[in-house]
Each structure stands twice: as C-alpha cells, then as structure tokens.
Structure 1
Amino acid sequence: MQNLKLLIFYLVFIANITAGFAQPAEQMVKVIVSPDHNTWVYKIGEQVKFKVSVFQFGNPQKDVKIKYEFGPELMPPVKTDSLILNKDEFEINAGTMNTPGFLRCVVIAEVNGKTYKGISTAAFNPELIEPTAILPSDFVQFWDKAKSDLSKIPMDAKMTLLPEKCTEKVNVYHLNLQNFRTDSRLYGILCVPKKEGKYPALLRVPGAGTRPYGGDVVMAEKGVITLEIGIHGIPVNMDLSQYANLAGGALNGYPAFNLEDRDRYYYKRVYMGCVRANDFLTSLPQFDGKNLGVTGGSQGGALSIVTAALDSRVKFLGAFYPALSDMTGFLFGRAGGWPHFFKQGNATTAIATKDKITTTGYYDVVNFARYIKVPGMYSWGFNDDICPPTSMYAAYNMIKAPKNLLLAVDTGHWVYPEQRSSMETWLYNQLTKR
C-alpha cells in the first residue's frame, strides 16, 4: 500500500510539473464558450456576446443546468446568473469595456451530477494596455551594481558526467556553479555535442516550482550547446521526493521571500543566476562566440525577458506567457501578474506595504521589457488565469525591439503542440544564423 501511495504521488507530481506546457486532459463533456468575433478582439466600446454550447460525444446537450459569470479577468464578476439550457446554443450579452483590457466569461455546466467548466476572454484594444509598474529612477544602476558584484565571484564550475543520459552525439553533465554569493550555488543540466567544433548555445530557464531537470538533449543533438538550470541553489538530479519535501517546506511560498527588501529579495539571486549561467556558457571552448539565446515559460518566460535585458551577450529570446509582469496591477483595480501579489485574499502578500511595492519595481518584467534590444518570439492565450493577458501585454507593449507574438487565444496556462513546434523552429533558426 505504501508503494502504491508513493507511485500515485509521483504521477501527480509529474503531471503538475508538466502542466505548464501540456494541453488539459480531455473530458466527456465540453462546455464551448466563444465571443462573437472570430479573433476574440474588440475595440473599446464594442459590445461582446459570448456564445455557449454544451456537447457530449459531439452532440449538443439540452436541459443542462448552467451557471455563468463575466467581468474583467481575475476581478469580481460584474454579473452572475443561472439558467436551464433548453436549446443547442445561447448567448450572453456581456456589454463592453471602456478601457483596454480583457473581459472574461466563465460558464459551469452540470451534466449527470458532475460539473464542467468553459471560459472565454474577449480582448479590448490590448495593444493599448499600459503598465501600472513604476520604473525606479535607479533601476539600471541597481542591476549594474548587481552584475558588477557577480563578476567578482569566482565561477568555480564543477561538471559531473552523467553516462546514463549521454547519447551517441551528446555528452550530458550535472553542472554546479558558484552564484551571486560564495555560499550560493547554481545547478543545471548541460548538454554538449561530442563532435569537435564550435556551437551556438541556448539557456533554458525554468517555470515556477521545485523539480528535477533532464536537460535539452534533442536540441543538443542538432548541434546546439544547451543548459537547463534550476533556480533554488539545489542539485537538479535528486529523487522526486526531495523536491516535494522542499516545495511543501523550506521553499513553500518562495516568490514572496524577503519581498520587503530589494537587496535580499529571493529573485535577486535568481536573476543573477541566469547571468552566471551565461558566464559559463560563453566560457566553454565549444561555444561559437556569438549565438546565445534564452527561452522558458511562465516564470521561465519572465526570466527569458529579464536575462535578455540584463545580458548583452544574449542575441534573442523565446518566451511563453511571462510571469512577474505588472505585479502591481491589483492595486489599480485590474489583474496583476503571477504570483498575484496584492490580490485580495492572497494571504502571503496581500498587505501592500510601501517597501513591498518598491521592491516589485526592481523585479517587474515590465521594467526589463523596456530595455530589450534583441529579437524575441512570444506566445500566450487569452484564457490564462495564472499569467493574465493584461499583465503580459503590459510588458509586451513596452518592447521596442523586433518581436513576434504567436497567439493561441483559447489557451490558458498551457500550449498547443503547434505553439511549441513553432517556438522550437524559430529558436533553432536564430541559433544557426551565421
């Protein structure tokens, strides 16, 4: 019985850590909610109607109990109502928005005693969304000093070959570097092509949480040095149970650690760790000396933008639904980015003290986006309730460098295979430019 419980725990753990890039599990009943514009995009003042249908085995269902609500994303609903669905489709007149943003409709259907949810989110002039995050007057100086301090710390790189993970074409290592302080380490999985030569390099930065990593062997087999890092200063090849213990214990709530102090805030070491990873990659004799990129999703999407802004060695970035964007949004009556600081009911950081607000300005992706100078590919959907689109557009609209946004409007905090494939192709093409 104990072994069965452990197996179930591991399966749930794996499902959780992969959820950020996987489609939700299919269900027997589908609640289809869609706005009456095919693009899901409206102009301020335009009226939106959400069309709702419930299907089972491809057939429309009738006499279904329906509850629905709509309002700005992650905000209290403007209206909540219920009805009995007695036809193939019904419409919800949700009105409009008078400022740029997103209006979300959530529908709950009850079929055979079980509830199913569908959501849809209409965009109103998202290209006009402006950030609430304030740019500190010494933002550049603060991070220049942090990088200067980092440069004085020896890298002390330790590479341990992982024979069981190596392939015919690639050597795989567990990497251990000294990070921002002499008592702080950075760990990752490094994949290096075996064939002698010079290669481009790709840094993969992680989504939120604690987990092991396997490295990007597939890209390495195509002739790219890859480094997939963790952020917590712990080895990335331990047993799953150790990460679960840390997630529920010492690292529980880490995004808010020392938020009241800009110099001690948790993400200072994380941001510098990304730069330190690049220090290592660019020091490798196999590096081609020119082509370096960074990519990730959610927290990793944020770190991709941050790293590209901080480190001029980065020549391009790929970011899925970046977190840590416009975190002060909730203080202005609209959705703020993950970790949803200052959101009502978020007990960890709901008290919006001056010091906490000040600190977020130094770490908000919006403010790093202002300094992006390299091409980037970005991708997200309108139904994301972890990294709400209002927060992501607040950052994206600040980017003046070449940028390409691949929208999959109906996605939440996950991606379609087509999004993943398009991103990987774009990254590879950037990496192999000569």
Structure 2
Amino acid sequence: MKRLLLVLCFFCFAEAVAQPSERFVKVMVTPDHADWLYKPGESVKLTISVYRNNVLLRDAKLHYEIGPEKMEPTKKETVTLKDGTLALDAGTLKTPGFLRCIATVELDGKEYRGLTTAGFEPQNIKPTVANPADFNTFWTDAKADLAKIPVDARMTLLPERCTALTNVYHLSLQNVNNSRFYGILCVPKKEGKYPAILRVPGAGVRPYNGMIAEADKGFITLEVGIHGVPVTMDPGVYADLARGPLNGYQMADLDDRDRYYYKRVYLGCVRAVDFLAGMPQYDGQNMAVTGGSQGGALSIVTAGLDARIKWLGAFYPALSDVTGYLNGRAGGWPHLFAGSSMAFNNKPDRIKTTGYYDVVNFARLVRVPGRYAWGFNDETCPPTSMYAAYNVIPGPKTLDITYLDTGHWTYPEETEKMMAWLMGQLKGEK
C-alpha cells in the first residue's frame, strides 16, 4: 500500500474553522447561473430574498452594494422589499475577476447579511506580484544556511497526554537566527515504520494539543507553532503575546527581505520536515502537504521549497498576490496594501520584499500532484488572489469549488472530501 508523509497545515484563524451559526433572519443573494460563472461582458442577474422563519419578510429595508471584491462599490442602493424579494441586474466585468454583491437588512437593532460573488473567467486571472530574478537563489541560500544548523531536537514526554497507543512529547527544534521551533510530537508506541503528519498552523497565537487521534491510527504526527515560543503554556500567555509583541507580526520587518517575519517561519517548516524525515520510525519515502489559510500558504510554500514533499492539498491559501491592491484589484491576506496599511507599506522596499514571500512565486515551483478548495465568498482570502497563485502551478492540480457559498470556512462535507482524497492517495488509490 502506497503511503505518504502527510504534512498538514490545517485551518487558519480560530474564528474561521467552523461553518457560521444559523441566523434568525436569512438574506439570500441568488445568481442566475448555478455555477456562479460568467463570461466577461455578460450581465449577472441576481435575486435577493429575505426570510424570517423560512417565510419571505415583507417590507424589509434592504441595503446592497455591488462591485469588484474588496474594492469600492460601483453601485449601491437602499430599498424596501414589499414582498421580501428583489430582482437585480448586478452588471458585469470586462476582464477576468470577481464581482460581489453584499446585501444587509436591519431588524430589531440587529444586522443580517448575505453575499454572492460571481466569477468571470477566473482561470485566466494573472498575478500582479513581481517574481524576483534571484528568487530561487535567495531561498537556496537560505536553506543552505539552515542546513548548517544542527536540528538539536529536544523532546519532553507529556505523560498526561499519552494514550495506550501513542507517546506524546513537547518538541523543540533549532531554527535560524538562534531561534527555536516548537510543537507537539506524537509517536506510535508499537515498533515499526510510519508515515508522518505535520500540521502547520493558521494565523494567530495559541497553544496546541497535538494530533493524538491520528497518531493512534498509525502516524507520526507533529503539530507546530510558528512564533518561536513553547506551545504548552497557559492560554493567557498567548493572548498577551497576540496583543503585545506579536501583534501585527505579518508586517514585521517587511522593509528587509532578510529579516521579514516569515523567513524564519518558512525555514521552520523545512526544519520540521528535516526532523520528521530523520526519525528512525519514519518510513523514509512518503511526503505530502495540506492546510488552510495561512496553513494553505505554508503548505504551498513547503511544497515549493522542499522536494521531499510528494503530495499537496490546500484550503483557501493566504499570502497570495498581496500586491493586487496596488493594481486596482483584491490582494491576499494579510492585506498589506489595503486600508490603513496602504500608506505604511506602499514603499519600494516593502513592495520588493513581498516578491520573495508571496505564495504565487512558490506556487510556480510546485510540481507535485495537488488538490485545492475554496469558496467564492471568502472575504479574508479573496478568490482573485487565490486563483492568481493556483493558475501558475505547473504540477498536476484539481480545484474543488463545489462549495461556492463558503467564505473563510469549510462545510464538514468539504473537509471530509479532502481528507478522503488524501487518504485515498495514502492507500495508493487512483
């Protein structure tokens, strides 16, 4: 049976990992194309309906805004829906991209919201971010510097987390710049050779519990943090770090490509693979990567940087085509050139640095088979930015856009589908 090292960079922000809760009043924005796809120049016809108790809400006061995603609306209006519904011509786009309609209703002091995002030939969206001529050299040299540093793995058994089948450890690895990379390592107790699962986190600052259930099923698992601090401290410590020294870490040292925050993070992902690949319990040949949001970004980055990765699956990758805003369209999280960040970051040195860290340029290096998934309504990682990265991947790839209405979250069926696919590859199924 074919087995792969599964490098899991799982789901993003804590508030975005689950499907949103049901709302008392539902604002439905329905396009006239079931696949939400249109040709440039073709008008998008929408029906906006407001329901309460599954019945159309009469005389609802509705405000809607239409425009390219994340941009200033080109059309907006406030109307009263006498019968609870409105037919609307949302207009069109003349070039590949996404047109979004956001509709809101206020009732009894609460606001209810719905949206739909129409795609116009997204497979033809091209990146805006520069691809530095020395991109490959920069990262080859960085990995060479990392390779000179001993892994220096330090494992501390966590007896309270161990199971009958699995030993659980707090792990510390040596990384660049005299820093450490921490995680929760789970190793099957039974002697043998195992595939490994590395979970790289989404954005934020938090402790980690480890992937104990997966280890019980016969995997080496390692769930890491990216901030160079132990991952077993009291949750209050991470809250203080998030409000204090790690607040806005996504922009730290953006003016210097050699000191930007994500250099240590990206190399830490490689260091984690170093450790797993060197474990005597590891089967020695099988590697894959998957994840969501910042984790989706890190999964693509890791696959691009490290040839030991043989499989890839990513949900809504962040850090993709971040310079979109400088070119009149949506850019990827963390939205370095949008809103209040624009004036601070719109400088030549900061723009130049993004080219060395944007997921688009790592995507160009991904040649392993991959599966990707996102919805058109994602407002954290705009689909324009994600397609910009996806479209340049040279390796075999499949994009699942079955769940069009998802934002920065997944349905249970969606995650099950991705994992079933991954496990199918682990079993050697075609």
Please give the range of the TM-score, normalised by the shorter of the 2 chains: over 0.9
Output aligned runs, 1:127-206, within 5 Å. Answer: 127-181=123-177, 183-206=178-201
Match of 1:334, SS state, is: coil
Match of 1:96, SS state, is: coil
Residue in 2 that maps onto 1:379:
373
1:365 pairs with one of 354, 359, 374:
359
* TM-aligned CA deviation for residue 140 of structure 1: 0.4
* TM-aligned CA deviation for residue 19 of structure 1: 2.1
Residues 251-298 of structure 1: CA deviation (Å, up to 9, x unaligned)? 000000000100010000000000000000001111111112222211
1:58 pairs with one of 37, 45, 54:
54
Residue in 2 that maps onto 1:217:
212
2:334 pairs with one of 321, 339, 350:
339
Separation in 2, partners of 1:145, 1:167: 41
**Aligned partners of 1:35 and 1:50 also within 8 Å:** yes
Separation in 2, partners of 1:80, 1:214: 46
Separation in 1, partners of 2:330, 2:248: 20
2:118 pairs with one of 104, 122, 125:
122
Residue in 2 that maps onto 1:250:
245
**Aligned partners of 1:216 and 1:228 also within 8 Å:** yes
Separation in 1, partners of 2:224, 2:81: 50
**Aligned partners of 1:292 and 1:431 also within 8 Å:** no
Alignment length (residue pairs): 417
Separation in 2, partners of 1:167, 1:50: 54
* TM-aligned CA deviation for residue 155 of structure 1: 0.7
Residue in 2 that maps onto 1:10:
none
**Aligned partners of 2:59 and 2:84 also within 8 Å:** no
Separation in 2, partners of 1:76, 1:159: 51
* TM-aligned CA deviation for residue 332 of structure 1: 0.2
Aligned amino acid, residue 289 of structure 1 = G
Separation in 2, partners of 1:158, 1:293: 24
Match of 2:380, SS state, is: coil
Following TM superposition, the consecutive aligned residue runs of length 4 or more in structure 1 with deviations greater than 6 angstroms are none
* TM-aligned CA deviation for residue 89 of structure 1: 2.1
Separation in 2, partners of 1:171, 1:60: 56
Separation in 1, partners of 2:295, 2:172: 20
**Aligned partners of 1:343 and 1:350 also within 8 Å:** no
Aligned amino acid, residue 82 of structure 2 = N
Separation in 1, partners of 2:427, 2:184: 22
Aligned amino acid, residue 156 of structure 1 = D
* TM-aligned CA deviation for residue 386 of structure 1: 0.7
**Aligned partners of 1:316 and 1:374 also within 8 Å:** yes
* 1:420–1:285 Cα change, 3 Å: same
1:102 pairs with one of 98, 101, 106:
98
Match of 2:171, SS state, is: strand
**Aligned partners of 1:295 and 1:317 also within 8 Å:** yes
User: Identity of counterpart residues, as a percentage?
Assistant: 60
Separation in 2, partners of 1:42, 1:219: 42
* TM-aligned CA deviation for residue 206 of structure 1: 0.8
**Aligned partners of 1:293 and 1:431 also within 8 Å:** no
Separation in 2, partners of 1:352, 1:246: 27
Separation in 2, partners of 1:189, 1:423: 24
Match of 1:415, SS state, is: coil
* TM-aligned CA deviation for residue 432 of structure 1: 4.1
Unaligned runs of 5+ in 2: 1-11
Unaligned runs of 5+ in 1: 1-15
Match of 1:381, SS state, is: coil
Separation in 2, partners of 1:317, 1:217: 22
Looking at both structures, which has the greater relative contact order when contacts are Cα pairs under 8 Å and sequence separation is at least 6? 2
* TM-aligned CA deviation for residue 17 of structure 1: 4.9
Output aligned runs, 1:348-359, within 5 Å. Answer: 350-359=344-353
Match of 2:90, SS state, is: strand
Separation in 2, partners of 1:385, 1:19: 13
Separation in 1, partners of 2:287, 2:378: 29
* TM-aligned CA deviation for residue 368 of structure 1: 0.4
**Aligned partners of 2:60 and 2:84 also within 8 Å:** no
Residue in 2 that maps onto 1:229:
224
* TM-aligned CA deviation for residue 192 of structure 1: 1.5
**Aligned partners of 2:345 and 2:351 also within 8 Å:** no
Match of 1:195, SS state, is: coil
Residue in 1 that maps onto 2:417:
422
Aligned amino acid, residue 220 of structure 2 = I
Residue in 2 that maps onto 1:314:
309
Separation in 2, partners of 1:217, 1:377: 25
**Aligned partners of 1:67 and 1:82 also within 8 Å:** yes
Residue in 2 that maps onto 1:5:
none
Match of 1:132, SS state, is: coil
1:259 has 2:254 as partner: yes
1:297 has 2:292 as partner: yes
1:393 has 2:415 as partner: no
Give the stretch that moved more between structures: 334-343 or 160-169: 160-169
* TM-aligned CA deviation for residue 88 of structure 1: 3.9
Separation in 2, partners of 1:177, 1:351: 32
Residue in 2 that maps onto 1:23:
19
- In the superposition, the TM-score normalised over structure 1's length comes to 0.94
* TM-aligned CA deviation for residue 342 of structure 1: 1.2
* TM-aligned CA deviation for residue 428 of structure 1: 2.3
Residues 285-335 of structure 1: CA deviation (Å, up to 9, x unaligned)? 111111122222110100000000000001112211100000100000000
